[in-house]
A = this chain, B = another copy of it.
Amino acid sequence: MTTTHAGKTFPVPKTQKGQATRARIVDAAAALVFEDGVARTSLDDVGAAARVGKSQIYHYFADKSSLIGEVVTRQTTAVLEGQEPYISRLDSWESWAGWRDQVIQEQRENHCAGGCPLGSIANELADTDEAARVVLVDSFDRWQLAFRDGISRMRSAGLVRDDVDLNSLASAVLAAVQGGLLLCKTHKSTAPLEASLDAAIGYLRSFESRSERTRA
């Protein structure tokens, strides 16, 4: 696999050492971007954090924008994996509650700093970096799909009514997460995030099928 930029190709590292270096660059960039945002993260800083000269960054990436694109895909998998095991098993009310608690707990541990690694980048770049935007749309779609799968399986299991709009609902849940995280990091409190997630799950619960509701 190679990435191309303006005619020049940027190959994946051939040696094990090179692969490690490239990974260190992306990791360092991801961490710094998460803390300070894209604009405030300089490539010198990335190099220092990765214990690497700037020449190596330009050896593996066409420019800062390309590196950021890689950061986004890296953070996408990190975010989704960070929500395991719940996110892939959202097929019961208990697992939704567990997922909710986990998201909140993570923010609490992080002192409500940083918000969502993807949401922050999206907010910063959606209007100015079309390449990044496209990658971010894909990331959000993958995330949303995880919600959709869960709701879909709950529907199959007869836990929610048949007439739910899977896509809209999954999209609304993702929006609740994003909005909640933004208010969380602004207020430096998990309360808004809790309210937002509870509302999203509460709305989902309003589609609980009658047979199940009476049983509860």
Residues of A within 8 A of B (CB): 35-37, 39-40, 113-115, 119-120, 122-124, 126-128, 133, 136-137, 140, 167-169, 171-180, 182-183, 185-188, 191-196, 198-200, 202-203, 206
Contacts and interface: CB of A to CB of B under 8 A. Distances in A.
Given A39-B40, A199-B169, A199-B200, A177 B179 contact: yes
Most buried by B among A168, A200, A203: A203
A34 to B, nearest CB: 10
A172 B175 CA distance: 11
Given A127-B185, A137-B187, A179-B176, A168 B198 contact: yes
A212 to B, nearest CB: 16
Copies of this chain present: 2
Given A35-B127, A128-B36, A198 B172 contact: yes
A172 B186 contact: no
- Per DSSP, chain A at the interface is helix
B195 A175 contact: yes
Contacts of A177: 179
